[in-house]
Amino acid sequence: MELADLRPDPTGYLGRLGYLSLVLFENLGRAVTAAPTVAAKSRLARSAAAMLAVHEGTVEALRSRRVDPAAAMEPSRRELDDFQRRTAGTDWYEVLVTCYLAGGFLLDFFGGLAAGLPDGLAERMERLLDEQDAGSPLLAELGPAIEADERLASRLAMWGRRLVGDCMLVARSSMTIDDAIPDATRTEPVFTELIAAHTRRMDALGLSA
Amino acid sequence: MELADLRPDPTGYLGRLGYLSLVLFENLGRAVTAAPTVAAKSRLARSAAAMLAVHEGTVEALRSRRVDPAAAMEPSRRELDDFQRRTAGTDWYEVLVTCYLAGGFLLDFFGGLAAGLPDGLAERMERLLDEQDAGSPLLAELGPAIEADERLASRLAMWGRRLVGDCMLVARSSMTIDDAIPDATRTEPVFTELIAAHTRRMDALGLSA
């Protein structure tokens, strides 16, 4: 089974992605505020803008289907607020790693899931998620810092390994927005691929997965 | 004397507006995070996106003049960080009022000041500042809350009156990015007009100035 084989309910999918992109935006906002230099602040603002574009595009997709965006997002609130708390991180670097790895993992997941949406909406959401590039400024900030400091690298590698579990929980519960809840054996290949992509992102940061 | 009579140094103007828009964005990010409902969170994200557009447009203007944006913003950092702390507010409503009134006052001011920039840049910055609409979602959030609660209204009116002093300090020191520092008597008409606009914004919120 692949992600594209699932047929997510459009309102469920859009509501969840709408709230998720808000949560990921809030994390990026914290990263901007805590940035140690003006240059870092300004670069990270680009990531925040990219994530807001995902949020606004998703809200527009809900509106064009005549669905109230807030009502569609509400069911995801408690779970994603919990996810946000668990993955908040204790310093600027951990916040950045969360933004890069959790944002990467979950937008990847929603990008794959988009293929099972009705025609038109599928392409619209794939395009929206493809176009965003919240990750590059984060990579540019983290890469050199990790390369320069071995202790930081090992601390952040631990953090990155922890994050993947929290991301998988969110992805797994997002798959149940399909009417037919897939069983765990069938969904395994999906997770294998998502974890492989996570490992590639860890590598790009210079962290051992 | 009017604002448009000043001839601000382009790099000084753009650097200051670049950092100011970051600071105002951070405030909006806090407002999104602290929003009590999903609907409010999502609406306020629009304001944050509008402010980021101002920041990015300003950074692009610096780049197209071959100026390093971070270096141009750096001189404003300490003063505007102080301004941010002083105007942080203690609860969600005060944060919103700061976003609405301080954002309104200062973008108004920079919009007026833009007229004295060199040709081309003046129009570019006027357009950028004209197009942003960070205020509307804030007004939509605050108006009904203030109308429904007299005690909140009187507390926020005090907060709004306090803010104007902090905004005037930032505006006054921003005028010295003009080579010829204008003396206080000559700049009085400028402030009269900015304060009148502030009073109109207080009125729009339903607050007595």
DSSP chain B: --GGG--B-HHHHHHHHHHHHHHHHHHHHHHHHH-SSHHHHHHHHHHHHHHHHHHHHHHHHHHHTT--HHHHHGGGHHHHHHHHHHT--SSHHHHHHIIIIIHHHHHHHHHHHGGGSPTTHHHHHHHHHHH---HHHHHHHHHHHHHH-HHHHHHHHHHHHHHHHHHHHHHHHHHTTBSSPPPHHHHHHHHHHHHHHHHHHHHHHT---
- The reply to whether residue A74 touches residue B19, judged by beta carbons under 8 angstroms, is no
Task: Look at A32 and B33 and tell me if their CB atoms are within 8 Å.
Answer: no
pLDDT digits (tens, 9 = 90+) for B19-33: 999 999 999 999 999
Which of 26-65 (A) contact B at CB < 8 A?
26, 29-30, 32-33, 37-39, 41-42, 45-46, 48-49, 52-53, 55-56, 59
Q: Which residue of A has its CA nearest to B40?
A: A70
C-alpha B79 chain-centroid distance: 14
- Span B89-114, pLDDT tens digits: 999 999 999 999 999 999 999 999 99
Across the interface, do A26 and B46 touch by the CB < 8 Å criterion?
A: no
Reported as a pLDDT band with limits 50, 70 and 90, residue A134 is very high
- Provide mean pLDDT across the span A182-190: 71
Flag if B22 and A29 touch (Cβ within 8 Å). Answer: no
Q: Scanning the structure block, which residue is given the tokens 């810092």?
A: A145
What percent of chain A is predicted at pLDDT more than 90? 84
Q: What is the pLDDT of residue B12?
A: 95
Judged by CB atoms within 8 Å, which residues 56-115 of B form the interface with A? Answer: 56, 59, 69-70, 73-74, 77
Task: Please indicate, yes or no, whether the overall pTM of this predicted structure exceeds 0.95.
Answer: no
User: Token pair 């069983």 is at which residue?
Assistant: A183
| Nearest by CB: B70 against A37, A55, A56 | A37
Q: Which residues of A touch B24 (CB under 8 A)?
A: none
Range A114-128 average pLDDT: 95
Tally C-beta pairs within 8 A across A and B: 80
Q: What local confidence, expressed as pLDDT, does residue A180 receive? A: 53
pLDDT given for residue A20 in this prediction:
98
Per-residue pLDDT for A6 more than 90?
no
Task: Using CA coordinates, name the residue in chain B closest to A26.
Answer: B33
pLDDT (0 to 100) of residue B150: 95
**Percent of chain A with pLDDT strictly greater than 70:** 96
Confidence at residue A178, expressed as pLDDT on a 0 to 100 scale: 52
Query: What's the rounded mean pLDDT across residues B143-160?
Result: 96
Work out the pLDDT band at A46, boundaries 50, 70, 90: very high
Tell me, yes or no, if B25 comes closer than 8 A to chain A by beta carbon: yes
The chain A residue lying nearest B39, using CA atoms, is A70
Mean pLDDT score, A63-71: 97
Mean pLDDT of chain A: 92
CA–chain centroid gap for B11, Å, is 19
DSSP A177: T
The residues, ordered by sequence, that sit 6+ positions from B58 with a Cβ below 8 Å of its Cβ are B14, B17, B18, B21, B125, B128
Res. A187: pLDDT tops 80:
no
CB-CB: which of B26, B33, B70 is closest to A32?
A: B26
Of B30, B33, B52, which is closest to A52 when you measure between CB atoms?
B52
pLDDT, residue B188, reads: 79
H/E segment holding residue A15: helix A10-34
